[in-house]
Amino acid sequence: MAQLALDGEGSLQRQLYRSLRAAILDGEPGPGRRLPATRVLAGDVGVSRNTVLQAYDQLLAEGYLTARGGSGTYVADTLPDERVAVGQLAGGGRGRDSAAPPRAPRLSLAAQRMLDVVPRGMSWNLRTVPLPYDFRYGAPAFGDLPLETWWRIMGRRARHLSARRLSYSKPGGAPELREALAAYLRRARGVVCSPEQVIVVHGTQQAIDLTIRMLVDPGDRVIVEDPHYPGIAFNAAAAGAELVGVPVDDDGLCVDRLDAAAPARLVCVTPSHQFPTGGVLPLARRLELLRFAEREDALILEDDYDSEFRFDGRPIESLQGLDQNGRVLYAGTASKLLFPSLRLGWLVVPAPLRRPFLHAQALADTGSATLEQLALADFIEDGHLERHVRRSRTRNGARRAALLEALATHFGERAIVSGTDAGLHVMLWLPELAAAHVPALCDEARARGVGVYEVTGFYRQPPKEAALLLGYATLIEKAIGDGVARLAEAYAAVAAR
C-alpha cells in the first residue's frame, strides 16, 4: 500500500480516514485487497493504534471495507455507489477530501457580474447575538402578530388540502390568493388590477429579480433613487444595467431631475415611503413621473414595501392606481405586514406583461408553496389582515411617538428626524457630527447594547452629514426610551474625541 499522507486538518482519526478513503477511491489498494494490520499501519503513519481502529471502523460502517473474522480487514469488492460518484466527479478518482483543494468551476458572465457588484465581505446574515436595544430596520413587530389565528388557519387549510393541491400549482400563484390580493390591494392601496395580473412571488426581492430579468438588457439604463434599497441596485447592476441615481428630498424622488437621467428603461421607486429617507411622493410628482415614463417609453417598478403603516396625513394611493398607460409594475410584500420568513409577496404587472412573466416564473421555480398561499388568502378574506394592520398601526404609532419624544429629550436641537409619516423606521440626522464619525458612533452604541445602522451603503453619492437609520417596530416603548438615552451617551463620547 502506498505511503499515506495526513493533511493536518481536524483530528488524526479524521485525517487518516480521509487519506485511506482517497487511496481506496484511487484504486490503491484495489477491491478485495487486505489492509495492513492496525498496529503496522499505526507504526508506519506515526499515530496510535486506536486512531487506526477508529478510522477502519468508520470505513467499515460506510461500506468501503469489510472485516473477515480473524483474517483482517479488506477493501470491499464493490464500493458504495455515491462515494465512487463523488470521487469520479472530483476528477481522477480522487476523493473530495484529498489534499489538493478543488478548483473553483468557471462561472457565467452574469454570475461574475453579480460577484463584482456585491461588496466584498457583505454578509446576508442578521446579527446572531441580539442587542437589548436593537433599532433594527426592516423587521415588523413580531409580538403584535395574531399568530394563534395564523396557525389556526394554516391548520384548517392543511387538514383539508385536497390531493389535487398537493401537485404543482399554477405559475402566478393560487387563484384564491390572487383574487384576495386583487381585492385587498384595491381597497387598501388603490391598485387597479384583475386577479390575473397578480403574480405571487417569494417577496419583493423576487419581484425585483423577475422585473429586471424580464425588462433590462446589459447596457440599459436603470434609474434608482439616491439613496435606495440596495437589493434593487445590486440586482440591476448584476444584470449589466447602467445605473443612474436621481436624488431625493423630503418629498421623495426629485422628478424634475429625471430628464437629466434620460433615456431610461426602468425607474425604480418607493413612492409611498422613500427608502430609507421616508419621504412620501406628492401627487403632482407622481403624475410627472408617469408622464416621464410615457415620454421615455420607460417602465416603473413601484416598491410598496411598508406603506400600510401610515401615521400622519391622508393615505396616498399607489402610483399604479394613477397609471393609465400600463407603465407601472407594483410590488408588495407580506414581510412587513406579517413576517419575512413567510416569503410571500406580490407583483402586479400590466396586462401585456402577464404571460411573459408567468413563463419566467415557471422557469425560475414554478411558484410559492400552496399551503401558505391558501392560508394567506383566508387570512385576507376573513378580515384578519386589515384588522391586524389597524392594530399594528396604533401600536407602531405609540412606538414612533416614544422614539420622537426620546430623541427630542436626549438630542434636542442636535438631531433632525425625517421620514416619520409612514413605515417602521426613521432617519436621524446629526448635523454637528462629522459623517466620518458615524462608524465610531455605531461602535460606541453597540458597546452600550444599542443597535443603530449606517446609511452610506444606500447612497451612490454618500451624504456629507452624519445620519443613522433607526427602526422601532421590534422594541417596546420603555426600551425605545432607554435605548435613545444610551445612544445619546455614545454620541457624547464620540463628539468629545
Ligand X SMILES: Cc1ncc(COP(=O)(O)O)c(C=O)c1O
- Which residue's CB is nearer to ligand X, number 372 or number 444? 372
- Which residue's CB is nearer to ligand X, number 87 or number 271? 271
End-to-end CA distance of the chain: 68
Angle CA 266–271–273, to nearest 5: 135
Nearest distance from residue 278's CB to ligand X, in Å?
11
Nearest distance from residue 161's CB to ligand X, in Å?
25
Nearest distance from residue 175's CB to ligand X, in Å?
22
- Which residue's CB is nearer to ligand X, number 52 or number 266? 266
Cell for 243?
445605473
- Which residue's CB is nearer to ligand X, number 73 or number 277? 277
Query: 200 with 177: CB under 8 angstroms?
Result: yes
- Which residue's CB is nearer to ligand X, number 124 or number 168? 124
| Torsion of Cα atoms, 234 then 235 then 240 then 245, to 10° | -60
Identify the H or E element spanning 454. strand 453-454
- Which residue's CB is nearer to ligand X, number 169 or number 204? 204
Identify which of 82, 63, 369, 55 has the alpha carbon closest to the alpha carbon of residue 201: 369
Query: 332 with 342: CB under 8 angstroms?
Result: no
| Torsion of Cα atoms, 158 then 164 then 167 then 168, to 10° | -100
Nearest distance from residue 458's CB to ligand X, in Å?
10
Nearest distance from residue 205's CB to ligand X, in Å?
3
Query: 377 with 452: CB under 8 angstroms?
Result: no
Query: 210 with 201: CB under 8 angstroms?
Result: yes
Residue number, nearest CB to ligand X:
203
Nearest distance from residue 480's CB to ligand X, in Å?
20
- Which residue's CB is nearer to ligand X, number 203 or number 271? 203
Backbone region of residue 231 per phi and psi (left: phi > 0; alpha: psi in -120 to 50; beta: other values): alpha
Instruction: Point out which residues bind ligand X (CB under 6 A).
Output: 138, 203-205, 229, 231, 270, 275, 303, 305, 333, 335, 340, 345
In DSSP notation, 239-285 reads TTPEEEEEEEETTEE-GGGHHHH-S-SEEEE-TTS-TTT-----HHH
Query: 131 with 451: CB under 8 angstroms?
Result: yes
Cell for 440?
465610531
Nearest distance from residue 73's CB to ligand X, in Å?
54
Nearest distance from residue 169's CB to ligand X, in Å?
20
- Which residue's CB is nearer to ligand X, number 47 or number 469? 469
Query: 222 with 243: CB under 8 angstroms?
Result: yes
